Each structure stands twice: as C-alpha cells, then as structure tokens.
Amino acid sequence: MQLSGEGYIIKIRNHGEKSAIVTLVCPKLGKIVAYANGALSKRSLGVYQLGNYISFNAYARVEENMLSLKGVELICSHAADFMLNSDKIEALISMSRLLDVCVAENDDLGRFFGVIDDFFKHLKEPNWLVYYSFFEFYLLDFLGIGLDISECAVTGSHNNLRYISPKTGRAVCEQVGAPYRDKLYDYPQYIVEQNYLPKMADVANVLEMTGNFLSKNFLMQHNLQLPENRTNLLHILALSQKM
C-alpha cells in the first residue's frame, strides 16, 4: 500500500535511538500513525517538531502493517511561533493531545481540518486563543456531541437565545433562563456569528463550556481527562481580563 499527503504533526514518540512513531492529522487522509526512520537525527530534528506541517510519501507492505514515512519535506515550520511563547505551547500540546485521543485513525476530518488549520495560520495574531476556542467547539461537533444551539429547549423560539444548559447542551432563551443565569453558560454568540474578535470573557465562557461537555460526553466515557496543559488556557484568559 502506498499513499502521499500533507499534514500537521501532533505526536512524536521515540522508537529506538533516532527513529520515531509520528502521528499526523491530514486534510485528505485524516489521522495517520507512521514510522519515521531517523526522525530524531540531527539532520531531521528540525522537521519532526510538534505543529510542523509536512508533505510525505508513505507505504506499508500489507494493509495491516504500520505505515513508514518516506520523502518527508517541511512545508511550514511553526517552531518559532511556539518557542518563545509558553502560552502558545500549552495550547499546542492541548490541541495535539485532544486530537490524538479523540480522533480515530483514518477518520475523515472533512471541514473540521479547516478549523485546525485556522489555528496554526493565525498563531501570529493577537487573538490566536480565539481560534483555539473554535477548535474545541467544532471538536464537539466532529465527535457527534455538538451543542444544540439553534432554538430554545423550552419554548422552541429561535430568538433571544442567551444561555446554554450545562446538563443538556441546549440553548435557552433569555426570558426562560434569566432566573437561573448563574447556573447556565452564556450563549456562544461569537461562534455563531464567526466573529474572531470577541471579548476575552466570552472566550473563557466557551472554553469552560467545551471543557465540560468534552469531559462529560466523551473523555470520561473512555477513562480520560482533559489535558493538564489546557488548564493554563483559562488562567491566560483570566489574566487578560484583568489587564
């Protein structure tokens, strides 16, 4: 079996002294895991870095065998984007680990890959964390546990949607939810409007919400937890609101 493609490196696991097992997410191939001979050698170390976007050929003698990477070329290095910013490193590790545990091998990522791609393409922007929040929101949708935010769960109204129930993930209109506002999440208006310049308080609300539903509806069912690095993202948002 032979194939070729492009993808982001989301996991690198040592295999022997200089080789590695590499996990990538690809626009056409989904998530793949492959053996990379010499990946940890001085010559190749700059290529095989978390978050780098590479092109490759891959082959396996039979379909059941692990793929082996050949002809790997670096298309875009993000090492400099992360190297001097510990906050971005936390986000990268969190995204990579969530993709690794939530996405099955060879699953078609479809339009979800575009959300992943947007995060990397906007790392130099001040609102890079907003793009991360879009990633988690659409990860829920990709997993089939997305929020039902199109209408009020109580009245069926499509107007004045203001809250999200932490139990059901369904929208609640302002009139119905107002008495319970302290127990509800705010409606993710900036996500719906595709607004990439929201208030940081709104981003924090979305990450609190997505973290809850990812944990409750997927991770806990597989005896997993949110990545430890993700906790720091909420700290970043809390500090930004005090500035």
| Tens-digit pLDDT profile for residues 152-202 | 999 999 999 999 999 999 999 999 999 999 999 999 999 999 999 999 999
d(CA 92, CA 153): 35
At residue 153, the pLDDT reads 96
At residue 70, the pLDDT reads 92
H or E stretch at 99: helix 86-102
Listed in sequence order, the residues at least 6 apart from 125 whose beta carbon sits closer than 8 Å to its beta carbon are: 131
At residue 79, the pLDDT reads 80
65 DSSP 8-state letter:
S
Q: Which two tokens stand for residue 38?
A: 């010499």
At residue 1, the pLDDT reads 81
Name the nearest CA neighbour of 99 among 51, 39, 38, 62: 51
Q: All domains of the chain, ordered by start, with CATH?
A: 2-77 (2.40.50.140), 81-147+188-242 (no CATH)
At residue 81, the pLDDT reads 83
Q: How many CA atoms lie within 13 A of 9 on its CB side?
A: 31
- pTM, whole model, 2 decimals? 0.94
At residue 9, the pLDDT reads 97
Q: Which string of DSSP letters, residue by residue, matches 172-216?
A: EEHHHHGGGGGGSEEP-HHHHTT-SS--HHHHHHHHHHHHHHHII
Low-confidence ranges of the chain (pLDDT < 70): 62-64, 241-243
Q: Which two tokens stand for residue 240?
A: 């930004």
Name the nearest CA neighbour of 127 among 207, 200, 204: 200
